[in-house]
């Protein structure tokens, strides 16, 4: 990277510092709520990893997309999610983004903030975010998508399949590997025979960077470079951020299997404390500015925590709805190129039937059968369920050669069932 690419303005520095502090205080507040038995379900911590979520998301623009995992609350905050949404969601309140139906960070915002909800199955967000990047390309949008994966998650099949797909499609995806040394109680050394997880990117022909995950400026400038490359059509880019999980897997886990010296080593490298020292030494952060930042954060936290605690739980009837989607889909495509240009298919094969709306099969698009038979009834049942039934307007069936002469003649006129004919000989 050039020196210019490493430049971070004082304004950006204070932003990075502010977001890391906000992230930490949001999560500290939730730890207290957990101990008061007010969190529904598990609670995960990104303590010591704040620089990664914050630094990478800060490199994105509003039009870009993220998909968080369990330790990426910092990314949600940078994207513009309010702490109240995070509190109410973890407390399963009716005022939460999922109306109390789901917990942790399992919510998204496809319309405004461009957040894809987490997927618990490790690795699966990689093909999904590849798909979002490809969709953006088809729509003529120059967007970048970003998601995170842990060291453990890099051993899933979905990671490898997803990364290969992204590389093959040149998708504008930034994939951040958070190497925090542990996957539950398994250290990286007992999981993979390589030192750098970034090396996995080479296998798929992807560019990769390794960065100190506790240095927020290094994370931010590396991510900004990755985003630049993606926007220039040179994606995907993998970033391995080396860091340490400073708590157990979740609140239930005291992490007694982690050597104490390891915690001591990384405690010295706390991303917020070390950045604070740097900004104070540079004269960017003063005691007065720090107080203003903390006062503003604490005011929001206090208001949003009180809002969450005073929010009701969902009414029981809500469990019945909405289980199945009814009516038109809520997301309309926003075409950035002429619809005709991007609408498939451009095929020489004439369509035999149509679908409309939510994918309903249009029975009246099929020519009515001439005779009434059980097959005809089945055809209309199939049509209702969106499944074309073979016996009605099956082009292959009509083209299948018959044993009598007329059949053979009609088979010649119809499209060639070459494989079938050869099979019969």
Ligand X SMILES: Cc1ncc(C[n+]2csc(CCOP(=O)(O)OP(=O)(O)O)c2C)c(N)n1
Give least dist CB 245 to Mg ion, A: 6
Task: Choose among Mg ion, ligand X, none what residue 29 binds, the Cβ cut-off being 5 to 8 Å by kind.
Answer: none
User: Considering Cα of 97, then 247, then 214, then 305, what sign does the dihedral take?
Assistant: positive
Give least dist CB 121 to ligand X, A: 5
Is 149 in contact with 126 (CB distance < 8 Å)? Answer: yes
- The DSSP call for residue 236 is -
Identity of the residue, 97 or 152, whose beta carbon is nearer to Mg ion in the bound complex: 152
β-strand pairing of 237-242 with 173-179: parallel
Task: Choose among ligand X, Mg ion, none what residue 249 binds, the Cβ cut-off being 5 to 8 Å by kind.
Answer: ligand X
The owner of tokens 């949003």 is 304
Identity of the residue, 178 or 304, whose beta carbon is nearer to ligand X in the bound complex: 178
User: Considering Cα of 44, then 49, then 51, then 57, what sign does the dihedral take?
Assistant: negative
- The DSSP call for residue 109 is B
Identity of the residue, 50 or 178, whose beta carbon is nearer to ligand X in the bound complex: 178
Give least dist CB 180 to ligand X, A: 5
Is 173 in contact with 135 (CB distance < 8 Å)? Answer: no
Closest CA to 142 of 342, 334, 336, 344: 336
Identity of the residue, 58 or 182, whose beta carbon is nearer to Mg ion in the bound complex: 182
The residue from 145, 180, 221, 311 that contacts ligand X (CB under 6 A) is 180
Task: Choose among Mg ion, ligand X, none what residue 71 binds, the Cβ cut-off being 5 to 8 Å by kind.
Answer: ligand X
Give least dist CB 223 to ligand X, A: 18
Give least dist CB 188 to ligand X, A: 8
Angle at 421 between CA 416 and CA 422, to 5 degrees: 120
Tell me the CA distances in angstroms from 206 to 124, 150, 153, 276, one per residue in order: 18, 18, 18, 34
Task: Choose among ligand X, Mg ion, none what residue 75 binds, the Cβ cut-off being 5 to 8 Å by kind.
Answer: none
The residue from 50, 64, 85, 151 that contacts ligand X (CB under 6 A) is 151
Q: Is 247 in the site for ligand X (CB under 6 A)?
A: no
The residue from 20, 26, 99, 122 that contacts ligand X (CB under 6 A) is 122
Residue ranges in 56-75 that form contacts with ligand X under rule CB under 6 A: 71
- Tokens found for residue 369: 């059968």
Q: Is 55 in the site for ligand X (CB under 6 A)?
A: no
Give least dist CB 62 to ligand X, A: 27
Tell me the CA distances in angstroms from 44 to 182, 248, 406, one per residue in order: 14, 8, 72
Cβ neighbour number for residue 211 with a 10 Å cutoff:
24
The residue from 138, 184, 265, 313 that contacts ligand X (CB under 6 A) is 184
Is 351 in contact with 373 (CB distance < 8 Å)? Answer: no
Q: Is 286 in the site for ligand X (CB under 6 A)?
A: no
Is 166 in contact with 236 (CB distance < 8 Å)? Answer: yes
Interacting residue ranges for Mg ion, rule: CB under 5 A:
150-151, 180, 183
Q: Is 182 in the site for ligand X (CB under 6 A)?
A: yes
Residues that bind ligand X (CB under 6 A): 71, 120-122, 150-153, 156, 178, 180, 182-184, 245, 249
């Amino acid at each position: 990277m050039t020196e210019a690419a490493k430049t971070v303005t004082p304004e950006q520095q204070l932003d990075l510092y502010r977001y890391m502090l906000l992230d930490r205080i949001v999560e500290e507040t939730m730890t207290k709520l957990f101990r008061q038995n007010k969190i529904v379900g598990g609670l995960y911590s990104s303590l010591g990893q704040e620089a990664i979520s914050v630094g990478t998301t800060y490199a994105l623009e509003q039009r870009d997309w993220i998909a968080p995992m369990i330790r990426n609350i910092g990314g949600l905050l940078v994207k513009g999610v309010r702490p109240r949404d995070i509190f109410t969601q973890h407390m399963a309140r009716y005022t939460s983004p999922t109306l109390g139906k789901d917990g942790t960070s399992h919510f998204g915002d496809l319309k405004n903030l461009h957040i894809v909800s987490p997927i618990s199955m490790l690795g699966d967000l990689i093909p999904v975010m590849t798909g979002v990047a490809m969709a953006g390309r088809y729509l003529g949008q120059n967007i970048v998508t970003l998601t995170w994966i842990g060291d453990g998650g890099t051993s899933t099949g979905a990671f490898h399949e997803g990364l290969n797909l992204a590389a093959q499609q040149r998708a504008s995806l930034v994939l951040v590997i958070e190497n925090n040394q542990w996957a539950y109680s398994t250290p990286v050394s007992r999981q993979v025979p390589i030192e750098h997880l970034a090396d996995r990117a080479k296998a798929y022909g992807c560019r990769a960077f390794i960065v100190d995950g506790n240095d927020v400026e290094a994370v931010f400038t590396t991510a900004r470079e990755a985003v630049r490359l993606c926007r220039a059509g040179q994606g995907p880019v993998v970033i391995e951020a080396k860091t340490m999980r400073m708590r157990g897997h979740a609140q239930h886990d005291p992490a007694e299997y982690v050597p104490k010296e390891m915690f001591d080593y990384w405690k010295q490298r706390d991303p917020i404390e070390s950045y604070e020292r740097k900004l104070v030494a540079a004269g960017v952060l003063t005691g007065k500015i720090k107080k203003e930042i903390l006062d503003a954060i604490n005011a929001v936290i206090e208001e949003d925590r009180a809002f969450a605690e005073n929010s009701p739980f969902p009414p029981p009837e809500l469990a019945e709805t909405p289980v199945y989607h009814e009516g038109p889909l809520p997301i309309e495509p926003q075409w950035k190129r002429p619809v005709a240009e991007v609408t498939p298919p451009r095929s020489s094969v004439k369509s035999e039937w149509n679908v409309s709306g939510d994918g309903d099969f249009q029975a009246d698009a099929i020519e009515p059968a001439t005779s009434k038979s059980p097959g005809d009834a089945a055809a209309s049942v199939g049509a209702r369920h969106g499944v074309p039934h073979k016996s009605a307007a099956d082009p292959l069936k009509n083209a299948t050669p018959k044993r009598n002469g007329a059949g053979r003649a009609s088979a010649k006129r119809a499209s060639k069932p070459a494989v079938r004919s050869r099979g019969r000989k």
